[in-house]
Amino acid sequence: MAEPQPGTGTSRRGFLRAVGITGGAGAMFATMGALGLAPTAAYAAEKEAPFSAPRRGDFTLQGRGGKPAKVVVIGGGIAGLTSAYELGKAGYDCTVLEARDRVGGRNFTVRGGDTVTDLNGVTQKVTFSQGQYMNCGPARLAQWMSTLDYCRELGVPVEVFTNTNASALIYNETTGMKAPVAYRTAKADVYGYVSELLAKATNTGALDAELTADDKERLLTFLKSYGSLGSDYKYTGTEHRGFSVDPGAAGTPGAELGDIPSLSEVFTSNVGRYFSFEFGYDQAMLMFQPVGGMDAIPMAFAKAIGPDKILTGAAVTDIKNTSDGVQVTYTRNGRTKVVHADYCIATLAPWILARTSHNLGSTVQTALQAVRPSQASKIGLEYKSRWWETDFKIMGGITETDLDLDHIWYPSYGHLGERGTLIGYYNTGAHSDTYSALTPAQRLERAVTQGVKIHGEKYRSELAAWYSHQWKLAPHIEAAWHSMPGGPDAPAFVPLNQAQGNVYFAGDYLSYLDAWQCGAISSARKVVTELHQRVLAS
Amino acid sequence: MAEPQPGTGTSRRGFLRAVGITGGAGAMFATMGALGLAPTAAYAAEKEAPFSAPRRGDFTLQGRGGKPAKVVVIGGGIAGLTSAYELGKAGYDCTVLEARDRVGGRNFTVRGGDTVTDLNGVTQKVTFSQGQYMNCGPARLAQWMSTLDYCRELGVPVEVFTNTNASALIYNETTGMKAPVAYRTAKADVYGYVSELLAKATNTGALDAELTADDKERLLTFLKSYGSLGSDYKYTGTEHRGFSVDPGAAGTPGAELGDIPSLSEVFTSNVGRYFSFEFGYDQAMLMFQPVGGMDAIPMAFAKAIGPDKILTGAAVTDIKNTSDGVQVTYTRNGRTKVVHADYCIATLAPWILARTSHNLGSTVQTALQAVRPSQASKIGLEYKSRWWETDFKIMGGITETDLDLDHIWYPSYGHLGERGTLIGYYNTGAHSDTYSALTPAQRLERAVTQGVKIHGEKYRSELAAWYSHQWKLAPHIEAAWHSMPGGPDAPAFVPLNQAQGNVYFAGDYLSYLDAWQCGAISSARKVVTELHQRVLAS
């Protein structure tokens, strides 16, 4: 369930599926109706995360011992903030050491006035207008994700993130497409021909071994509706494609978009490769975002934790288990300091941690080194006008391409306003690396040149400000996400899934929700629970 | 393109399609790429509504005559307000006569403190909490609709209307479903089996006459992705269905929702009847709503027109063409008044106009009487908690049923807040009539009893306030929308599509966007254009 690569591999999904089939956790639901989902209170209770937050009262409950301990949390990303927040609620004395100049980690929102220097020493000064922002890292939340529970708990308002839009476009240059096509049009044609073909096979008896007479009748009824087939089960276009002249007043019935491509043309264009994206458990609409920028979440966490508990600009240089706790060394403002605590939760990126001096042992070091960084990047393009809304009637969503910009995101905020900020590329892997090798000016030129192919000259002429963010070049982070052969429970990673002395490890890489904030949250909650149980038992 | 009746007739669509095929308006687009849509500036310009708003300067342009005239607009719904707004911008002296106590017509938003009395004399006092509201009439805007252009022009902020949600439910009681099923689960199963069947037919050669070898390969690749098929092209479930235990930290890989129904079970349940709804040109996401209530639109219109130009509580009793203009009689505050003007734009509901004294002739009267009212209704249910979000992780969207409540709408505003207001039924036709025959208390009981089947006892126990709105019983309106045999350009309706003396007719019923505000807008713009051209030529 890594961040999406529409049309590419599904190895993680395959793994999840295998586990789901062999696991017994779904057993009770299997009895609750032919269609599987039992939307009852019992269902809801079961679906709730099993996390039971530590509470101050835990220490006074009969038969329970311990007292809140001192914990140093390394890293002020979502895993670190969750850890400090949950432990802090129960009375633990937490200190968060964050190497960067703000908390959030990859939850990083850029606004006008920000200055960002990358690992190459290249500085970009951001000149976005007031109210315009760009989420460089995570940008969307599925409605089942625990991240939204923290938004509720911390009072972070949310709004819909427009992950899917029938009016957004698809453009596969390499398949010979002469022009982009709207999702609505592409879907109408693909679903139309799929329905026509299956109706034909059904009506000619080719599926008689698979279908009862009732099945056939019901299937044909479905296909007619789904594919907008005529009474002869032929696909000859549909209003689902859109209109070249919109319907209007009497005298203006409108004209459906014409020139329907042939079946071969539709499948040659390969537009269908993007359709299953919207079915993903993690990507299906409805999706959400905090109002005003994703960093509202780390800001709210930091406020709740207490700013005095968080040190930014504090780069850890050494981590040691000691006879009675932990000793963590860091540099801040040019000075070296040491903090002692009972426990440590290390939430650094594993490749950074692997380069940090520690006495956690060689099995830990080997495990850390087995986690490989993966790359992604984005460019924010602020425009003087929202031409995608006025000229194209695209009010959000994502345009998919086979260009090396991968995706164009239209903003999910500021609708109908004067200005707006697109994500001009959100690309991954080799495409991301291509842009990381360029200067910011070169990245802009490359992105805009490609965008013009899709949207015309306004993509260049209306441009007002821009910022490109390559996670590969982000200090103290160096990657967008990661790959872990076999997943987080593979034998190679066992040392990271348990305390090593008084040191715990947390991060989305130690979850099945990699590259999602809720993965970091789930990992932090696991560690918080283990640490708290240990303290209570002490 | 009437308001949706998922799974029912498509006669209007069929009509539109026929026109689209025979019309030549799409011709230029046919040349612009194999897939039909040409997303260029030329395309955008062509797609713009052809409406050219009257301007003050028109009267001083060389060779043009006329001067702004006096116009009485009957009806302060969207057609009337659009007419008065556009004419007013050009200097026309407009008076709007609105029989109800506020403008907007069917654009009617109810809040706490409102008191609504129906045609039966039954009064409901609305006790919704501060910030809670219910759009009794139109509630959603497609991104291509001209309504959004007025939101932009008049400064009405908008947000996403959640018309589709993978986590919303489907419940077809009559097909034997034991429990509701989430859209994501239903889609996964239907698309899985459809893909498996079509892959089978393809692989067994049943479609060799339809498909080249390349087509087959591409189709199979698509089906595997679209239907989440295994390497043997079998559907055996997918994470698209959802999880009974969500993936989490290491040690918690999650469990996919199990107990996959058979193909026969899936098609017997008839869940697929709802799937094509989201492909509609008028219903496909993204959809939008004004922030704070749909009536922000009439309020903004009224402010721009000038409150002094609008008389509410003014019920028209007589409309007469005179030798030099029009004479309109109305009652207000118990007094009868007469207004004289150069022109009249009549935007009343046609069945109301047919009952109003006039001298427009028998062909007009016959045409008006040929427009038949159609019914719809809604109940708003305010809850003390947003249990659908916390317990079901449903953050908006629409649950579809075959119960007589038809649809349940989850709110598109106030996410993560304390309270929220569902639409407990949005039903039409006979189902609407069933509820219209009940008292408000009986409607509530019937709606809640059915909702409990879907969501359990909180549907009753968390209830805080409610309001039921039956358009059949709404004074001066009496219907949700209408039916017009043959559409607005049928010979029977020709008299309404042209001026009768100095009287013009406007309303969504005289458009191909019936039941949509943009239909009223398009009709008003047509009439405004005709009236202005006539004045300029005079």
pLDDT at A152: 98
Q: What is the mean pLDDT of residues B191-216?
A: 98
Q: What is the mean pLDDT of residues B506-517?
A: 97
Mean pLDDT across chain B: 92
Q: Do A263 and B211 touch (CB under 8 A)?
A: yes
Residue A48 scores a pLDDT above 70: no
pLDDT at B42: 39
The pLDDT confidence band at residue B31, using thresholds 50, 70 and 90, is very low
Give the chain B residue whose CA is nearest to the CA of A493. B250
Least reliable range by pLDDT among A369-378, A495-504, B63-72, B128-137: B63-72
Q: What is the mean pLDDT of residues A503-528?
A: 98
pLDDT at B60: 84
Helical H segments across A344-421, by residue range: 350-353, 362-369, 387-390
Give exposure, A176-207, as e/b (b: 16+ Cβ within 10 Å). ebebbbbbbbbbbbbbbbbbbbbbbbbeeebb
For the record, the structure tokens of A489 come out as: 């429970």
Question: How many angstroms from the chain centroid is the CA of residue B84?
Answer: 23
Does an H or E element contain A325, and which? Answer: strand A325-332
Distance from CA of A121 to the nearest CA of B (A): 36
Residue B24 scores a pLDDT above 70: no
Q: Are B320 and B100 in contact (CB under 8 A)?
A: no
The pLDDT confidence band at residue A49, using thresholds 50, 70 and 90, is low
- Give the whole-angstrom CA distance, residue B214 versus residue A323: 68
**B chain contacts of residue A259, beta-carbon cutoff 8 Å:** 26, 29-31, 34, 36
Name the percent of chain B lying above pLDDT 90: 88
- Give the whole-angstrom CA distance, residue A429 versus residue A444: 18
Residue A111 burial (CB < 10 Å; 0-12/13-18/19+)?
middle
Residue with tokens 């307000």: B81
Q: Do B259 and A30 touch (CB under 8 A)?
A: yes
Q: Do B260 and A510 touch (CB under 8 A)?
A: no
Q: Are A284 and A142 in contact (CB under 8 A)?
A: yes
Q: What are phi and psi of B189, to 5 degrees?
A: -70, -45
Q: Are A277 and A283 in contact (CB under 8 A)?
A: yes
CA separation, residue B145 to residues A246, A247, A466, B49, B151 (Å) = 9, 10, 31, 10, 11
For the record, the structure tokens of B157 come out as: 């902020």
Residue B400 scores a pLDDT above 90: yes
Residue A64 scores a pLDDT above 90: no
Q: What is the mean pLDDT of residues B289-295?
A: 98
A28-37, B35-44, B59-68, B416-425 — most confident range: B416-425
Mode of pairing for the β-strands spanning A255-256 and A243-245: antiparallel
Helical H segments across B456-513, by residue range: 458-461
For the record, the structure tokens of B394 come out as: 């449903």
Q: What is the DSSP letter of A477?
A: T
Distance from CA of B115 to the nearest CA of A (A): 31
What's the pLDDT tens digit per position in B341-394? 999 999 999 999 999 999 999 999 999 999 999 999 999 999 999 999 999 999
- Give the whole-angstrom CA distance, residue B23 versus residue B32: 17
Q: Do B49 and A248 touch (CB under 8 A)?
A: yes
Q: Are B59 and B536 in contact (CB under 8 A)?
A: yes
Q: What is the mean pLDDT of residues A164-180?
A: 97
pLDDT at B66: 83
Least reliable range by pLDDT among A129-138, A329-338, B36-45, B523-532: B36-45
pLDDT at B259: 86
Q: Which of B27, B261, B512 sits opposite A35 (nearest CB)?
A: B261
Mean pLDDT across chain A: 92
- Give the whole-angstrom CA distance, residue A219 versus residue A214: 8
For the record, the structure tokens of B70 come out as: 């006096």
| Terminal C-alpha separation, chain A | 37
- Give the whole-angstrom CA distance, residue B181 versus residue A37: 5
Residue in A15, A37, A175 to test binding to B, most B beta-carbons within 10 Å: A37
pLDDT at B61: 75
pLDDT at A258: 86
- Beta-carbon count within 10 A of A331 CB: 14
- Give the whole-angstrom CA distance, residue A463 versus residue A421: 9
What's the pLDDT tens digit per position in B312-329? 999 999 999 999 999 999
Helix (H, G, I), strand (E, B) or coil at B488: coil
Calculate the CA dihedral of residues A480, A295, A379, A404 and round it to 10 degrees: 40
For the record, the structure tokens of B536 come out as: 């300029």
Q: Do B39 and A157 touch (CB under 8 A)?
A: no
Q: What is the pTM (predicted TM-score) of this model?
A: 0.92
Q: Are A26 and A20 in contact (CB under 8 A)?
A: yes
Q: What are phi and psi of B183, to 5 degrees?
A: -50, -45
ipTM: 0.92
pLDDT at B39: 41
**A chain contacts of residue B8, beta-carbon cutoff 8 Å:** none
What's the pLDDT tens digit per position in B474-511? 999 999 999 999 999 999 999 999 999 999 999 999 99
Mode of pairing for the β-strands spanning B503-505 and B343-346: parallel
Q: Do A222 and B394 touch (CB under 8 A)?
A: no
Q: What share of chain A is helix, strand, coil (3-state, %, to 5)?
A: 35, 25, 40
Give the chain B residue whose CA is nearest to the CA of A394. B143
Q: What is the mean pLDDT of residues A377-385?
A: 98
Q: Residue B83: which of B91, B73, B97, B69 has the closest Cα?
A: B73
- Beta-carbon count within 10 A of A254 CB: 21
For the record, the structure tokens of A356 come out as: 């940090």
Residue with tokens 């202005």: B532
Residue type, B177: M
Q: Do B165 and A32 touch (CB under 8 A)?
A: no
Q: Are A110 and A380 in contact (CB under 8 A)?
A: yes
What's the pLDDT tens digit per position in A390-428? 999 999 999 999 999 999 999 999 999 999 999 999 999
- Give the whole-angstrom CA distance, residue B341 versus residue B93: 9
Q: What is the DSSP letter of A348?
A: S
For the record, the structure tokens of A328 come out as: 């963590």
Residue in A235, A285, A388, A409 to test binding to B, most B beta-carbons within 10 Å: A285
pLDDT at B32: 32
Give exposure, B216-247, as e/b (b: 16+ Cβ within 10 Å). bebbbebbbbbbbbeeebebebbbbbbbbbbb
Find all residues with CB under 8 Å of B296, minimum gap 6, and list them.
B156, B157, B290
Residue in B210, B221, B256, B266 to test binding to A, most A beta-carbons within 10 Å: B256
Q: What is the DSSP letter of A500?
A: B
The pLDDT confidence band at residue B37, using thresholds 50, 70 and 90, is very low
pLDDT at A66: 83
Q: Are A140 and B260 in contact (CB under 8 A)?
A: no
For the record, the structure tokens of A483 come out as: 């790959």
Q: Residue A10: which of B224, B167, B186 has the closest Cα?
A: B224
Residue with tokens 């308002």: A157
Q: Residue A468: which of A197, A123, A165 has the closest Cα?
A: A123
- Give the whole-angstrom CA distance, residue B538 versus residue B536: 6
- Give the whole-angstrom CA distance, residue B513 versus residue B491: 19
Q: What is the mean pLDDT of residues B421-438?
A: 98
Q: Which of A26, A31, A251 sits opposite B497 (nearest CB)?
A: A251
Q: Do A254 and B512 touch (CB under 8 A)?
A: yes
Distance from CA of A312 to the nearest CA of B (A): 27
Q: Residue B82: which of B513, B535, B537, B525 has the closest Cα?
A: B525
Does an H or E element contain A98, and which? Answer: strand A93-98
The pLDDT confidence band at residue A77, using thresholds 50, 70 and 90, is very high
Does an H or E element contain B381, and which? Answer: strand B376-383
For the record, the structure tokens of B420 come out as: 């929220």
Structural Rg of chain A based on CA atoms: 26
Largest pairwise CA distance in chain A: 87
Mode of pairing for the β-strands spanning A243-245 and A343-346: unpaired
